[in-house]
Structure 1
Amino acid sequence: MEHLRLLRRRPVLVLWLAQSLSVLGDRLYALAVMWVVYAATGSASLMGLVAVAESLPYIVLGTVGRRLVSRFSSYRALAWVDGARAAVAVALPFLWSPDARGIALLLAGVLLLGTLGALFDPNLGALVPDLVEPERVQQITGLLDLTGRIARIAGPASIGLLLLFVSEVQLFALNGATFAVSAVALRWLARRYATSAGEAAERPASRARSSVPAGPVLREHPRVGLAIGLHGVALFCSAVTAIGMPALLATRYGAGAAVYGLVTAAVGVGALLGNPLASNRRSGGWLTVYCGAWALQGAATACMGLVLDLPALLLLALLTGIVTPATSVTLRAHLGAFAPAERLRLMSVDQTIIRTGGTAGMLVLPFLVDASPRNAFVAGGLTVACSALASLIASSRLLRPDVAPAVPTAVGDRTMASE
């Protein structure tokens, strides 16, 4: 299996283990911050404010901060970012108090962690492809996607056990520990590049330090622009399933938390099954696969609002999980084939678009769910499916071929890829 072959390479293994812990810590943090806010205030609107505060730095930096983001395009710089995230997360339990001052400090911490995350995420995504040969970018992208899928299942499953020994606020400190481990691993990778290929190769993406504007790149590769736009629409509509599933189960089936857990598990199992398929796809036509996967997921979501029995709903949930990796892995692997400067900018634009779409969806679509969960699923699913088909049709009318330029492999990259 390609994932296992990649993990035999020490740099890939170190990064994968570190990011597995870091992503799991992020899941613990996301759950902890919501619990802490709700336990202290009993306000769902404040929970929503926290979610917006976490996404806001991604939107702002992705829109106007491209030069700042590009300054962190090295493993050494990202190690410092993760070190700062560890310090902030560990400090939060000591600063927290269940009053207005504590809420204000928590929101400030969320904003700071969001800012550091907005610097970290696109740069790590741009650095990862340089760990392997160009033909293996799809596989390593799928490997890290699998890390996120596992964390989404393991995070909620482990939090109940952890809360037997620590408080909700102390979960922030555990998250800080995972950031610290990630910082050490990134520092090791920085030294590895420096000692294996000289200081010039310490940063395989040092070529990306000069930021590039997004407009010319997207005009040169309009199909990428279509794909990123579709990603934003899909994340906007994903608020329907995130918020509306409990309401749909309660109103249509009279079901409760146990069935909701089954549906969530079905999506997770489907994603684990779909990841190897998406990671090892070798045929061309990336945009056809990408749009087709979103169209299928949208149709399945719409059908969730129409089916009348739970087994059919569970099958649809499994199907949405199976096709989800085909969307995330396909797009990120295609972006990973670009030259470092363009790669970083496109990944940053994609992140900005999906954060903006997701935040807008969380603010707008709950009103549609309140009016009719069934109709919300149908409308959201059909919007995604129609947008995917429209993007595919529009791409077929573009005359310019959209092929990522070949990226020459650096000396340091060859050294690490050969292990």
Structure 2
Amino acid sequence: MSYLRLLRQRSVLVLWLAQSLSVLGDRLYALAVMWVVYAATGSASLMGLVAVVESLPYIVLGTVGRHAVARFSTFGRLAWVDAARALVAVALPFLWSPDVWGVALLLVGVLLLGTLGALFDPNLGALVPDLVEPSRVQQVTGLFDLTGRIARIAGPASIGLLLLVVSEVQLFALNGITFAVSAVALGWLARRYATAAGSEEVERSGRARPAARAWPTVRAHPRVGLAIGLHGVALFCSAVTAVGMPALLATRYGTGAAVYGLVTAAVGIGALLGNPLASNRRSGGWLGVYCAAWAVQGVATACMGLALSLPALVLLATVTGLVTPATSVTLRAHLGAFAPAERLRLMSVDQTVIRAGGTAGMLLLPFLVDASPRGAFVVGGVVVAGVALGALLVASRALRPDAVLPVSAAAHGRPVAAE
């Protein structure tokens, strides 16, 4: 019911519908680009290269591009970013050819879309909390988290139906259409709710929101820094399940794609069930909830490598999905309570860390999976659980809960987020 109340607000409804379509388009794009590259080259290594190329702009801009990212901190400027993404995505099917030059061109397109995404994602995340009153930031964070959960389930299902009538390359054009819809919605928000994006003066004058420096901001909020570090470790280890699940199912249970789909569906169902619980959690003790959720997910992942039966594996997959929203919603909702400049910088740092961690994991951990799929699950799960419990111990013993307060929160009229 809390989501329905949020969707009665026209600004939230318009942005949610547009982003639901856009996120679904992203899922189609992610699947399409892998299929196109593999069909053209037959190389799994090039598929991995695509993932690295797409993540590289997030890491670079998150590390040294704080001023560039901050220049797009309004709804109006994000509308232009999505319009540019639409042009790139729609152009790809017309420029594509199944040869070396076609693959090279596709990688350039992936790099451009990754760069635009690195400008878009942290800014949108930082702007969403401004659409609602402070007491409902956690709920609106959960609502947009739910969008991603649904897309992860609907994406693979819809791509099978779409490929009956269009080619893989044409899926890029469909993704471009979703970007165009998002651009229109953001343009409407820029005109109707300019103050929600910072101020009318910022929208009209073209001046960017001040860009906070990463290291001083993280040092000022050590518990947030600890949570972001844990997030990076967890995403590094997530490569074990992403790469290792098919190998585990084949070597341990002698099953194939059908059971892999069942396990993936179990994770998705768990996440859908866990989302309302995470978004309606009472405020307070956010770091304890965050670390506990990662610890549970780590233990469940390790137990997957030790599971003796397929039903037990499916149950553990459901558990990992159930606690996943408690990690994403809890952290992003807490960051959403910060003043706009600090909020944007912390969200950008978080995105940089998880992209770097995920990319490193995809490059390194497949070797561990090749050596022992079951052992990789155990090692990855134990590392996540151990780091989560260690972070909680450090926070409870070495960091005072209210040691620091968000910088300039009062100046922005935002509530102070207690550490």
What is the TM-score with the length of structure 1 in the denominator?
Answer: 0.95
CA distance in 2 between counterparts of 1:187 and 1:166 reads 30
CA distance in 1 between counterparts of 2:362 and 2:304 reads 19
The within-5 A match list for 1:153-164 is 153-164=153-164
- 1:182 corresponds to 2:182: yes
Secondary structure of residue in 2 paired with 1:209? coil
Secondary structure of residue in 2 paired with 1:255? coil
CA distance in 1 between counterparts of 2:380 and 2:303 reads 11
CA distance in 1 between counterparts of 2:350 and 2:166 reads 37
Aligned partner of 1:281 in structure 2 is 281
Contact conserved, 2:73 with 2:197, CA < 8 A, in 1?
no
Q: Which runs of 5+ in 1 are unaligned?
A: 414-419
Alpha-carbon shift at residue 200 of structure 1 (Å): 2.3
Q: Counterpart amino acid of 2:190? A: A
- C-alpha spacing 1:296/1:195, structure 2 compared with 1 (3 Å): closer
- 1:330 corresponds to 2:330: yes
CA distance in 2 between counterparts of 1:120 and 1:59 reads 14
- C-alpha spacing 1:326/1:199, structure 2 compared with 1 (3 Å): closer
- C-alpha spacing 1:256/1:49, structure 2 compared with 1 (3 Å): same
Contact conserved, 1:337 with 1:407, CA < 8 A, in 2?
no
Secondary structure of residue in 1 paired with 2:193? helix
CA distance in 1 between counterparts of 2:255 and 2:292 reads 32
Alpha-carbon shift at residue 284 of structure 1 (Å): 1.0
Q: Counterpart amino acid of 1:328? A: S
Q: What is the CA deviation profile of residues 219-274 of structure 1, one whole-angstrom value per residue up to 9, with x for unaligned ones?
A: 11100000000000000000000000000011111111111111000000000000
CA distance in 2 between counterparts of 1:140 and 1:407 reads 20
Alpha-carbon shift at residue 84 of structure 1 (Å): 0.0
CA distance in 1 between counterparts of 2:223 and 2:175 reads 38
Contact conserved, 2:25 with 2:178, CA < 8 A, in 1?
yes
How large is the RMSD of aligned CA atoms in angstroms? 2.0
Alpha-carbon shift at residue 106 of structure 1 (Å): 0.3
Aligned partner of 1:225 in structure 2 is 225
Aligned partner of 1:143 in structure 2 is 143
Aligned partner of 1:386 in structure 2 is 386
CA distance in 2 between counterparts of 1:195 and 1:131 reads 10
Aligned partner of 1:171 in structure 2 is 171
CA distance in 2 between counterparts of 1:195 and 1:323 reads 35
Alpha-carbon shift at residue 217 of structure 1 (Å): 1.4
Q: Counterpart amino acid of 2:369? A: V
Alpha-carbon shift at residue 195 of structure 1 (Å): 9.2
Aligned partner of 2:94 in structure 1 is 94
CA distance in 2 between counterparts of 1:198 and 1:119 reads 17
CA distance in 2 between counterparts of 1:151 and 1:202 reads 33
CA distance in 1 between counterparts of 2:316 and 2:210 reads 45
Aligned partner of 1:44 in structure 2 is 44
CA distance in 1 between counterparts of 2:215 and 2:208 reads 17
- 1:373 corresponds to 2:362: no
**Identity across matched positions, percent:** 82
CA distance in 1 between counterparts of 2:22 and 2:55 reads 18
Q: What is the CA deviation profile of residues 344-367 of structure 1, one whole-angstrom value per residue up to 9, with x for unaligned ones?
A: 000000000000000000000000
- C-alpha spacing 1:332/1:381, structure 2 compared with 1 (3 Å): same
CA distance in 2 between counterparts of 1:86 and 1:167 reads 18
Contact conserved, 2:297 with 2:323, CA < 8 A, in 1?
yes
Alpha-carbon shift at residue 374 of structure 1 (Å): 0.3
What is the TM-score with the length of structure 2 in the denominator?
Answer: 0.95
CA distance in 1 between counterparts of 2:60 and 2:240 reads 25
Q: What is the CA deviation profile of residues 50-85 of structure 1, one whole-angstrom value per residue up to 9, with x for unaligned ones?
A: 010000000000000000000000000000000000
Aligned residue pair count: 411
Aligned partner of 1:132 in structure 2 is 132
Alpha-carbon shift at residue 283 of structure 1 (Å): 3.7
- 1:243 corresponds to 2:243: yes
CA distance in 2 between counterparts of 1:197 and 1:350 reads 21
401-410 vs 257-266, greater mean Cα deviation: 401-410
Aligned partner of 2:314 in structure 1 is 314
Q: Which runs of 5+ in 2 are unaligned?
A: 415-419
CA distance in 2 between counterparts of 1:359 and 1:113 reads 17
Contact conserved, 1:208 with 1:340, CA < 8 A, in 2?
no
169-178 vs 250-259, greater mean Cα deviation: 250-259
- C-alpha spacing 1:221/1:43, structure 2 compared with 1 (3 Å): same
